[in-house]
Amino acid sequence: MTGDDGTLNPITYIPDLSPATAVHQDHFIVCGLGSLGQQIIVNLTKFSFDSFEVHIAGIDRKPVTEWEVDNLSNMLSQPPIVGDCRRDHVLQTAGIAKCRAVLIVTSDESTNVQTAIAVRRLNPKVHIIVRSSRQGLNRLLSRQLGQFVALDATELPAMTFALAGLEDNTLSVFNIDTFQFRVVERQISNRDPQYCNVPVHVLHRQHVRLLNLKPFSSPHQPIGWATTASSMFHRWQPHVRVQSGDQVAYVEVKALSHSQIVNLPKQTGPWNKLRQGIGDVLDGEWRRRLLAFWRSSEQQSLRRVVAIALTTALVLWTTGTFLLKFNITDVSWTQAITLGAVLILGGYGDVFGGFEDSGAPGWVLIVCLMIAITSLLMVIGDLGLLADQLLSSRFEFLQRRPKVPKENHVIVVGLGRVGRRVTRILQDLRQPLVAITHHLDNPALRNQIPLLEGPMLQQLQEANLSTARSVIAVTDDPVLNLEVALIAAEALESEVRPFTPVIRTLSQLFSDNIKSFLPQARSFSVYALSAEAFAGAAFGENILGLFRLNHQTILITEYTIEYGDTLNDKPLAEIAYGYGVVPILLRQNQPNRQYQDYPMPSDDMRVRMRDKLYVLSSINGLRRIERGEMTPPRQWLLEVEAPLNPNMVTEAGNLLARLTTVPLDECRRLMATLPNSLQLALYDYQAHRLMQELKRSIPIRLSPLR
């Protein structure tokens, strides 16, 4: 019920989720039962519940001798199939004909690609999810195969490693088209007037959404559950106030560029190509392309220039020889050839004798002068290019390399794919860093980041470990990563400042064990983090990224609304509170294939066909959306009194129709017969907003019925 101050009293309610009589079954095949494949099986089984059954078949080249999770083999619908997943009979034994999605996650990317092609041939409609880091090939395969998603299991969690090492308020930074989003977690103090003693519903601002609240007084006890749809989002009643010491997490739009993104097909007709070519000439594009051709691929460019110079010299020599032979009397062929060679070597004065009259026509003198000048310029150009090549190759060691930072820097140990991605993220965040590697595959990195080469453990002290902000160990050897973290923790044991080493592992069990004896470290299994993204992609969702919040993996997911979708024709309030997700961007489909973008969209906006919706969700939220398992709203009784100003009745009716699912004509009939009452199905945040908006226009009372 509503209190004296107009707030909603919290009432815990349990949704009615009785199973339906019909049973829906989905069949999946996981190719590759290593650590990643096993974690994917665990996450896929989370989608199996009551009337929604998930059947999983596993394929591996060798018998699995070690399961990372107890009873994991019992999660499969049949014993693991031993064989080559590229073979037709192996895929048919696994049930490829009735399969909804195939997840190909072996450690060999070549095998993954070959399996994807075989799967598409056997089942043209199956959804294919492939573990692959070859972005160019992935785009080509996506266009050719269709219903194809490629994810890089090692680079997906790179943002998590980088931001864990910073130990600041930022949990994630990601871009969606022209919008940049930032996830922040911070502790509130009395010096934060925009957060301290502010009701939770106020934190849902125009460009900000609250994600999580940890009360300082009772961190493990929620304050009045608003919905049971999520174990993470929308848990607290709208009237709950943030107090000093509480920890809040929110997502905000950091940079907003456009409100519209036009997605029109490119025009490729002949007239358009001609128009584009003319435009390139007018814009000076031809000079840029010529310069790029001249500078591209230095060794090949040098060979091309030398070949052009020799060809031009031969043409000039031949031209000069014929001019001298047929325009000057008493000149033999031998003399003409010799004088032509002297001419292209810059000997114009030697050929024509200065002030002496050679008897040659004036136009011949001018042409020979042009030949001499052209050959001289070409010689100078060739010599300059050769000198540049010599200097750049012989004196490269003189280039100044970035210095190792003195303090407050991050040490990245290991420069594999994950390490390089982590360094790029840290550079984008303008965080000082130094990287340590035993062997450098890309020499260009020496001039881009501070770098130490050699035995990694010995280089830690050279990296100014005692003054470092953090150490991120992301080599391919988890034991080496642990050793790096232990050395760092021991070296800084006497320091009073916080220091959190970050460890990359390949096993979730190993990560759990590390946390038990090294609690100050943050250990992440790349496969456990990525597995949730692969599982979400298996149901046709586009997973853009992930991050960690409150010990849970949060997926950044894109939904394209199609016919029969569980999100189709629903207001965002039902999607957010019923499924337990956070909508952060709605791209509404407009005529002429245009999209209207709404970052942090309002709860009363409705999702239509062909719209794109971007949400933050846990794996539980994806499961609810897939099954259409929506937590039902609470029932409310709305009592409306006659207003003092009759002109407000029409506005109140329109407002009631916009903020609820009640048809407009029914709202107007209600307002025409005041005083009156109406029973509504609303989530707590909807009810709070409705009460705040309506009471400005008309006297109302809103009470929960259960």
CATH code assigned at 436: 3.40.50.720
Q: One-letter amino acid identity for 656?
A: L
Q: What confidence tens digit (pLDDT) does each residue in 459-491 have?
A: 888 888 888 888 999 998 999 999 998 888 888
Q: For 347-350, which contacts have Cβ atoms below 8 Å and span 24 or more sequence positions?
A: 347/372, 348/372
Average pLDDT over residues 444-454: 82
Q: Which helix (H) or strand (E) holds 650?
A: helix 648-659
Higher model confidence: residue 560 or residue 706?
560
**pLDDT 10s digits, 514-525:** 888 888 888 888
Q: In what order do the strands lie in the sheet with 522-525?
A: 451-453, 433-437, 410-413, 470-473, 502-505, 522-525
β-partners of residue 585 are 599, 614
Residues 137 and 143: beta-carbon distance below 8 Å: no
Q: How far is CA 365 from the centre of its chain?
A: 67
Task: Identify whether residues 28 and 74 lie together within a single domain.
Answer: yes
Domain with 289, as residue range(s), is 264-295
519 lies in the same domain as 567: no
pLDDT for position 221? 45
Mean pLDDT for 309-335 is 76
Q: Is 111 or 528 the better-scoring residue by pLDDT?
A: 111
pLDDT given at position 412: 92
The answer to whether residues 639 and 540 belong to one domain is no
- The 3-state secondary structure of 408-462 reads CCEEEECCCHHHHHHHHHHHHCCCCEEEEECCCCCHHHHHCCCEEECCHHHHCHH
Can you read off the two tokens belonging to residue 623?
A: 């499961």
C-alpha span between 651 and 177 (Å, rounded): 37
pLDDT, residue 24, reads: 58
Answer positive or negative: Cα dihedral of 91, 93, 98, 99. negative
| 705 Rama class: left (phi>0) / alpha (psi -120 to 50) / beta | alpha
Residue 539's nearest CA partner among 26, 154, 32 is 26
State how far the Cα of 202 lies from the Cα of 7, in Å rounded to an integer: 13
Query: What's this model's pTM, rounded to 2 decimal places?
Result: 0.67
Per-residue confidence band for 90, with pLDDT thresholds at 50, 70 and 90: very high
- Give the residue-averaged pLDDT of 664-684: 88
Domain for residue 7, yes or no? no
d(Cα 461, Cα 191) in Å, to the nearest integer? 39
Are residues 306 and 290 located together in one domain of the fold? no
Boundary (domain end) residue, out of 477, 507, 525: 525
CATH of the domain at 581: 3.30.70.1450
Distance in angstroms (rounded) separating the CA atoms of residues 135 and 152:
9
Does 93 fall in a domain? Answer: yes
Other C-beta atoms lying within 10 Å of the C-beta of residue 211: 22
The pair of structure tokens assigned to 188 is 């509130």
Instruction: Decide: 242 and 196 in contact? Cβ < 8 Å.
Output: yes
Q: Are residues 282 and 319 in the same domain?
A: no
Domain C-terminal end among 397, 424, 443: 397
Mean pLDDT of the chain: 79
Is residue 614 located within the same domain as residue 662?
A: no
One domain, residues 29 and 137 = yes
Residue count of the chain: 706
Q: Any residues with CB less than 8 A from the CB of 95 and at least 6 apart, and which?
A: 27, 29, 55, 57
Does 229 reside within a domain? Answer: no
Q: Is residue 538 part of a domain?
A: yes
Q: Would you state the pLDDT for residue 276? A: 47
Kindly report, residue by residue over 565-609, the tens digit of the pLDDT: 888 888 999 999 999 999 999 998 887 777 888 899 998 899 988
Closest CA to 524 of 166, 170, 164: 164
> How many C-beta atoms lie closer than 10 Å to residue 182's C-beta?
16
Helix, strand, coil shares, percent, the chain, to 5? 40, 20, 35
464 lies in some domain = yes
Out of 22-36, 124-138, 660-674, which region has the weakest mean confidence (pLDDT)? 22-36
Within this chain, do residues 425 and 514 fall inside the same structural domain, yes or no? yes
Phi, psi of 667 (to 5 degrees): -65, -40
In 3D space, the residue among 430, 506, 427 whose CA is nearest the CA of residue 473 turns out to be 506
Q: Of 3-17, 164-178, 463-477, 515-529, which gets the smallest average pLDDT? A: 3-17
Query: What does the pLDDT read at residue 68?
Result: 82
Count how many domains the chain has: 6
Is 380 within the bounds of a domain?
yes
pLDDT reading at 140 higher than 70: yes
Do 680 and 602 fall into the same domain? no
- Write out 203-244 in H/E/C secondary structure: HCCCCEEEEEEECCCCCCCCCCECCCCCCCCCCECCCCECCC
Q: Are residues 616 and 554 part of one domain? A: yes
- Dihedral, CA of residue 311, residue 312, residue 315 and residue 321, to nearest 10: -120
| Nearest C-alpha neighbor of 227 from the set 552, 8, 23 | 8
Cis peptide before 361 (omega within 30 of 0): no
Are 513 and 534 members of one domain?
Answer: no
Token output for 347: 């000997």
Cross-strand bridge partners of residue 638: 678, 702
228, part of any domain: no
What does the pLDDT look like over 628-660, one tens digit per residue?
888 888 888 999 888 877 788 888 888 888 888
CA dist list (Å): 574 to 10, 319, 605, 645, 656: 19, 84, 10, 33, 16
Radius of gyration of the chain (CA): 35
pLDDT at 50 over 60: no
pLDDT of residue 672: 85
Q: Which of 273, 295, 317 is the C-terminal boundary of a domain?
A: 295
Q: Is residue 404 part of a domain?
A: no
Same domain, 289 and 305: no
pLDDT of residue 16 exceeding 50: no
Structural element, H or E, at residue 510: helix 508-517
